[in-house]
Structure 1
């Protein structure tokens, strides 16, 4: 019901301001048509046609030679047309000053957001937010940006991004951005307190949503994790690790950069915690399931009860709650998911940095 009421309000917002100009135009056409009918005796089609070409100033010429009364009707129609045009111009100027067209743009954005599912919500379009948006765009991941700064909003909109200019710390903003339908939320605001507030609000509104937050200190990292963040990235630490990796293990970093530019991805397959959903795979080893051979994807690691099993051997058995980290192309990963079937609780694409 709320969606229907919102649609009605949106339709009202679109139509109501134009009722007077359109009503005046309709009255002018009706009165002019009747005037020609009474003075010239033409059929209704010719009368309407004469009114339309007169009002629009197309000037195709008279349907037939007009009588003096008919010419008077024509003069009145021309004057009435000028009045209607003046009303329309005044209405456009008034609506522009009142923010009508901005509200229409916001209404259009709201409609698009209602249709978005499995998308990413990016809170903040600063330097880090811009890089995140570029990576999401590169992977064709649908996303919406929440930004309060009008200049940053304009930059994002100029690149064709969907931008909601609002305060990301407010519950209503997160809900409008589609929090309950999104794939994940990224809190990339420059302030740790703002990111903490976003994580607290989002976790309360949508307990199952994956929340990724930016932090600038170890203390903020700990608090964000305590607040419910699924992952916390300290950009100082992350930058240092990348630089150290580049100095000590350049081939590993080159591999990740090559992976970004290829058609391969790394996906995380979270297995269901309920054993009854793992009937086909529960207790069976990777060798028995032949997931790699049958799908073409490679299991890089398995996270089992907090213990990371890197490059798992064929003897490793699958069980409830495990997280499989798998490398492959999109078709290979799709086949891998099909082989696991209902055992998969969720799938997350990991974008290499």
Structure 2
């Protein structure tokens, strides 16, 4: 669906949402107008006094009469009171009927759709089960804009209680992914419980946005292979990941504790991919780490540099930067931003490493 088609659909939805209120507002406007005309004819007041008298009568504020009313004016007042009560009764009945018909749920969904139209660089999370909830909690801690797609009403209530923007729709549909802002998001996470559903989501997302970063959950090696063939950038098996964490706890507890501590802090590890074009590295090419003073000027720490198949751990001051290298850097968000600014055009892409 094109942007123009979505705008037309949004306008139609707005008209449908406004339609139930046309009757009560029209009736209220008619009472106000007819009442003002009645006072104008019976009392001869100017239009301002007429409208003021109608408003304080309908609202039962009771400021008092503008002037002493004639018998005809009192009759007009009685008719206004009766008409106002009828309009209020009709409005109450309409509100109750709309609530039973799910109107306010549709109104909330429309508000969310309008909000999503202006959202950029967010993450789309398909599925809010146990794994999805953990993913959402981590993204919330990092203050990453997030949109959750979920069909289960109970999980929907939990997501809304946690302050998440939610679409109650089928994530395997192209229209749902477009409504969630797939064309403008930074990544999509398929965390549905079924491999077939995740495969369908990845296929749809890759076709709609070939440049989007796609992360998928897989319950088996066969499913992981198919998800990669379908276009998933990263495939994660909860069972394999859990087994690796348990093994790391037994063999390398200090390293695991460090990563857990890192996940709960303001620090991150980011990968800075340097451009392969030598022209982009004119300011830094051939200069050593000591000459550039990246650590001192930014506060970030270069943990390692990958140059082709070679990994340089804890690079010294004599290490020189070259096109195509990958810099693995630890620091807070402000420090990493300063590090990026120092590299300038030499940076081709940046990825945040998962802890």
* TM-score, L = length of structure 1: 0.92
How many Å separate the matches in 1 of 2:71 and 2:162? 60
Among 6, 24, 29, the residue aligned to 1:26 = 29
Deviates more, 1:282-291 or 1:245-254: 282-291
Q: What does residue 344 of structure 1 align with?
A: 347
SS of aligned partner of 2:305: strand
- Deviation string 1:146-174 (CA, Å, 9 cap, x unpaired) is 11111111111111111111111222211
CA RMSD of aligned residues (A): 2.1
Deviations 1:297-338 (A, max 9, x none): 122233444654443444544344433221011121011100
Q: Compute the displacement of 1:33 (Å).
A: 0.7
> What is the aligned counterpart of 2:294 among 280, 287, 291?
291
Query: 1:61: how far off?
Result: 2.7
1:182 and 2:185 correspond: yes
Secondary structure of the corresponding residue to residue 232 of structure 1: strand
**Long gaps (5+) in structure 2:** none
Matches of 1:332 and 1:247 in 2, distance apart?
A: 33
Counterpart among 109, 115, 118 of residue 118 in structure 2:
115
Map of 1:232 onto structure 2: 235
Give the match's secondary structure for 1:236: helix
Cα-to-partner distance string for 1:36-67 (whole Å, 9 max, x where unaligned): 11111222222111111111122233222221
Determine the C-alpha separation between the residues in 2 that align with 1:147 and 1:295.
41
Q: Secondary structure at the match of 1:269?
A: strand
Q: Does 1:138 align with 2:141?
A: yes
C-alpha distance in 2, partners of 1:215/1:315?
A: 44
- The residue correspondences of 1:262-273 to structure 2 (distance < 5 A) are 262-273=265-276
The answer to whether the aligner puts 1:199 opposite 2:202 as a matched pair is yes
Give the TM-score normalised by structure 2.
0.91
Q: Structure 1 unaligned segments of length 5 or more: list them.
A: none
Of 62, 79, 84, 2:82 maps to: 79
Count of residue pairs the alignment pairs up:
352
* Other-structure match for 1:55: 58
Please give the alpha-carbon distance, in whole angstroms, between the structure 2 residues aligned to 1:42 and 1:335. Answer: 71
In 1, Cα distance between the equivalents of 2:223 and 2:306? 25
What is the rounded CA distance, in whole Å, between the counterparts of 1:310 and 1:217 in structure 2?
A: 34
Shift in alpha-carbon separation, 1:218–1:285, aligned structure 2, 3 A: farther
